[in-house]
Amino acid sequence: MSLLGRMGRRPGALFRHPGIMAIGGAAVIVLASGGTLVAVSSRASSQTLAPAATSKPVTPSKPKPTPVVGPLQLASVTPDRGAKGVNGAAAITVTFSSALAPLTPLPTLSPKIAGSWAVSGKTATFTPSYGYLPGTTVTLKIPGGPAGMQGLADSAGVLAQPATVKFTTGTFSTLRLQQVLAQLGYLPLTWTPASVANPVPMTYGNLNDQLSAAYAPPAGRFEFQPGYPSELTGQWKAGSDNMLDQGAIRAFQSVEGLTMDGIAGPQVWADLLKAAAKDRTNPNGYTYALANQKYPESLTVWHNGTVIEHTPVNTGIAGRSTQDGTFPVYLRYQFNYMDGTNPDGTKYHDPVYWISYFNGGDAVHYFARAGYGYYQSLGCVEAPWDAAKKVWPYMTYGTLVTVIGPEA
């Protein structure tokens, strides 16, 4: 009898598949293959069924709120309202509370100058091609209202109210005047910028860079060219007006066809910066003359640091003495007549050659004398023909003449 026959049927036994039955919570698998019976109890397994994991419901993330831009507002202006001493060549920036539309209306400047506006993010920047001269009051008008400056976002809208900002430019620097005059050969000095790696103000061709440096000169050092005497070098003052400046300004005015007053006014500065931008140097070189009234009286003339003449001369007699001091040549003639009154009251009308006036009626010139090296003139520095003729082409306008020694 088969096992199945012996076991019989238990009430309640349920067959769900041939060879599989459930007995009291144990699973028996019957494999009828070649008469072999194999039973596997679930209790003999080392593995148990874990309860199914309980999944938590996923809460959807809340969308981030769109930031409210708000109305467009003016944040800052550079230069600031009421600023004084402003560098007239510097850029002008207007910054807002949010980004600007690319085609926003732009501010306006008065007086008008060449340059361009550019918009980047929250800022509108004006870059001048050639900025403002000293002492200029600049008015910046920022448009507002329906036709005002426009924000990039729709919620930004336009600037509600227009705004006006005024500022005043400063003055040009004496130090920069000296730097440029030395650079162009109108002073007997060289000037070297402190930063050779970034010599923006020395870059010829950019006029606005020259203008900017006129307000704010770069650091650097001056050095005298070799060969000049202490009577000249001792008068130099870096950053302060001195006689060397006056002579150099007159020389520049002469070359540029300007009125020779020795004053660096607006026209001189304008032409000077253009000359610097174009590297238009002094065509005459640098000349200096020293008249010594110590016996025997003499005149020594330097050109570009080299002595080109040393000659005996005559200076003024008592009552018509030649004044000590340093003076720039302001009038020149190859030939002219000199008129005046002699000590005895008679008038004179003398033909004179190679004339360079430096102090009122006093001039370096040729005048025939039996000898030289004495007090003989009526205030002039009289030189022999050959010496006077030789130095006259060098003693151009602005040449400094120093008179030293005991006056008669």
> Which single residue is written with the structure tokens 């309640």?
12
* Cα(152)–Cα(69) distance, integer angstroms: 10
Quote the Cα angle for 364-370-374, to 5°. Answer: 55
**What are the DSSP calls for 269-318, one per residue?**
HHHHHHHHHTT---TT--EEEEEE-SSSPEEEEEETTEEEEEEE-BEEPT
- Estimate the share of the chain in helix, then strand, then coil, as percent rounded to the nearest 5: 15, 30, 50
Angle between helices 207-215 and 174-183 (to 10 degrees): 140
| 181 residue type, one letter | L
- Two structure tokens written together for 20: 């599989």
Question: The sheet that has 163-168: what strands, in order across it?
Answer: 108-110, 137-142, 163-168
Q: What is the pLDDT along the chain (408 residues), one digit of tens a residue?
A: 333 333 333 334 333 333 333 334 333 333 333 433 333 333 333 333 344 444 555 556 666 655 555 689 999 999 999 999 999 999 999 999 999 999 999 999 999 999 999 999 999 999 999 999 999 999 999 999 999 999 997 667 899 999 999 999 999 999 999 999 999 999 999 999 997 655 544 454 689 999 999 999 999 999 999 999 999 999 999 999 999 999 999 999 999 999 999 999 999 999 999 999 899 999 999 999 999 999 999 999 999 999 999 999 999 999 999 999 999 999 999 999 999 999 999 999 999 999 999 999 999 999 999 999 999 999 999 999 999 999 999 999 999 999 999 999
pLDDT tens-digit map of 184-196: 999 999 999 997 6
Angle between helices 207-215 and 266-277 (to 10 degrees): 130
pLDDT tens-digit map of 232-287: 999 999 999 999 999 999 999 999 999 999 999 999 999 999 999 899 999 999 99
Query: How do beta strands 400-404 and 287-292 pair?
Result: parallel
Beta carbons within 8 Å of 237's beta carbon, 6+ residues apart: none
Whole-Å CA distances, 108 to 121, 146, 147: 19, 17, 14
According to the model, what pLDDT value does residue 64 have?
Answer: 61
Q: Is the preceding peptide bond at 79 cis, omega within 30 degrees of 0? A: yes
> For residue 328, how many other CB atoms are within 10 A of its CB?
21
Domains of the chain: 3-40 (no CATH), 81-168 (2.60.40.3710), 174-277 (no CATH), 287-404 (2.40.440.10)
Burial readout 243-259 (b: 16 or more C-beta within 10 A, e: otherwise): bbbbbbbbbbbbbeeee
> For residue 60, how many other CB atoms are within 10 A of its CB?
5
According to the model, what pLDDT value does residue 326 have?
Answer: 98
Quote the Cα angle for 300-303-306, to 5°. Answer: 75
pTM for this one? 0.78
* Cα(170)–Cα(159) distance, integer angstroms: 31
Per DSSP, 243 falls in state: H
* Cα(19)–Cα(122) distance, integer angstroms: 83
Q: Are 403 and 325 in contact (CB under 8 A)?
A: yes
Q: Is the preceding peptide bond at 111 cis, omega within 30 degrees of 0? A: yes
- Two structure tokens written together for 363: 């001039």
Quote the Cα angle for 236-242-244, to 5°. Answer: 65
Beta carbons within 8 Å of 328's beta carbon, 6+ residues apart: 243, 246, 247, 250, 262, 358, 397, 398, 399, 400, 401
